[in-house]
Amino acid sequence: MLSKTLHISTSPHLTKGVTTDVIMKNVVYALLPAALFSVYVFGISALLTIGMSVASCVFTEHLLCKVTNKDTTIDDYSATITGLLLGLTLPPIFPLWMTMVGGVIAIGLGKFLFGGLGYNVFNPALVGRAVLQAAFPVAITTWYPALLDNRFTSVPSSLFTVPLLQPVFDGSSGATPLSAFKFDHVAVETSDLFLGFVGGSTGETSVVFILLGGIYLIYKGMMNWRIPLSILSSAFIFSGILYMIQPEVYPTPWFTLCSGGLMLGAMFMATDMVGSPITSLGVCIYGCFIGILVVVIRIWGGLPEGVMYAILLANALSPQIDRWIQPKVYGTSKSKKS
């Protein structure tokens, strides 16, 4: 006679059967178009930057798992995503040894120190980039023009700078659309920003490919669409109000959406399931906070970009948002009884 085992567990009992590694693998798929387009725009240097970032993140995760006597977790693709996102936020002429340092910090400090996947408070890729921003401010704000004729036949010498030495950048470095507008009031055509034929970080230039990747994840049910919608809509509305008040000083709302890392941050970084709130109202508050703060930093801050800081601050605020708007438990009153 065959016996059957009754498994009793806590909720939730209804699942879609989608595992973590499946979700992460789809995020990698969603990021690939933007990554490949960056290679087309910036050439071999972009490929080397992204490759070093992914390799350093994956190797660091594998090494830390071995050192702590844990099974390796590189097959869940989370380290690959961290490497892709970090690489896409770096300039294509950023020295490779600095990129490697960023990957080690992103995994070691931004993820592993908190307990690994599912326990990190902040987006690991942004943690790595924040440390690089503080440690190497000149290198991380030196940019490379797009679509150079020799981008597939040569690479900038700064990529191969010897560790601990200052990189030497050639004369082809230039400004991003954000810095050009902030410091020189020179605006770039929105169509160029949308298509991605501008200088900037490796993967922040092509709005169209980032959007396609985000739409793919929303279609697969692997992204909370409220987060990017609230970020982009709040940034658009706030910058639009400022533009209507003083159009000769402030950028158009379309420029705000399509420039810098706002689209990449809204679609792939702020949507981190661990670092964002869990309620529908909570994610809307979280997204609006990011969108408004990005505009504030860009216009009144000392730096032309503010996406990284806005998302990291929102990650820190996320648990408090969930506490502030906890829904009333069914059958109870709002006031606590002694």
With respect to residue 4, please indicate whether it lies within any of the assigned structural domains: no
Structure tokens at 6: 């009754």
Three-state secondary structure readout of 103-123: HHHHHHCCCHHHCCCCCCCCC
Residue 307 lies in a domain: yes
* pLDDT (0 to 100) of residue 17: 62
Tokens of 85: 């996102």
Amino acid at 29: Y
pLDDT-derived band at 6, boundaries 50, 70, 90: low
pLDDT digits (tens, 9 = 90+) for 24-63: 999 999 999 999 999 999 999 999 999 999 999 999 999 9
Q: Which two tokens mark 151?
A: 């981008």
Across the range 279-292, mean pLDDT stands at 95
Any domain includes 6: no
Give the pair of three-digit tokens for residue 190: 């929105």
pLDDT tier, 179 (very low <50, low <70, confident <90, very high otherwise): confident
**319/126 Cα distance (integer angstroms):** 18
State how far the Cα of 260 lies from the Cα of 291, in Å rounded to an integer. Answer: 13
Is residue 19 within 8 A of residue 73, CB to CB? The reply is no
H-only helix segments in 246-279: 253-258, 262-264
Higher-pLDDT residue of 325 and 160 is 160
Residue type, 51: G
Flag whether pLDDT at 225 surpasses 60: yes
CB 129 within 8 A of CB 159: no
- Residue 29 covered by a domain: yes
Query: 143 pairs with which residues across the strands?
Result: 174
Q: Let me know if residue 337 belongs to a domain.
A: no
Range of the domain at 87: 20-324
Decide if 332 is inside a domain. Answer: no
Q: Are 188 and 198 in contact (CB under 8 A)?
A: yes
Classify residue 2: in a domain, yes or no. Answer: no
The number of residues making up the chain comes to: 338
Exposed (0-12), middle (13-18) or buried (19+): which is 217, by Cβ within 10 Å?
buried
Q: Please report, for the domain that includes residue 41, its CATH number.
A: 1.10.3430
Least trusted range by pLDDT, from 78-92, 113-127, 228-242, 304-318: 113-127
Distance CA 248, CA 256 (A): 15
- Please give the helix or strand (H or E) that residue 297 lies within, else none: helix 280-300
Lowest mean pLDDT among 16-20, 51-55, 105-109, 262-266: 16-20
pLDDT in tens, 181-222: 887 777 778 787 888 888 788 887 789 999 999 999 999 999
Does residue 173 carry a pLDDT above 70?
A: no
Contacts of 252 (CB under 8 A, 6+ apart): 187, 190, 239, 240, 243
Interval 229-271: pLDDT, tens: 999 999 999 999 999 999 999 999 999 999 989 999 999 999 9
The pLDDT of residue 337 is: 47
State yes or no: pLDDT of 19 exceeds 60: yes
pLDDT over 90 at 224, yes or no:
yes
Q: Per-residue pLDDT averaged across 174-179, rounded? A: 76
Task: Specify the pLDDT at position 99.
Answer: 97
In a domain, 254, yes or no: yes
Q: How confident is the model at residue 338 (pLDDT cuts 50, 70, 90)?
A: very low
Mean pLDDT (the chain) is: 88
Count of domains forming the chain: 1
Q: Which residues neighbour 65 within 8 Å (Cβ) at sequence distance 6 or greater? A: 71, 72, 73, 74
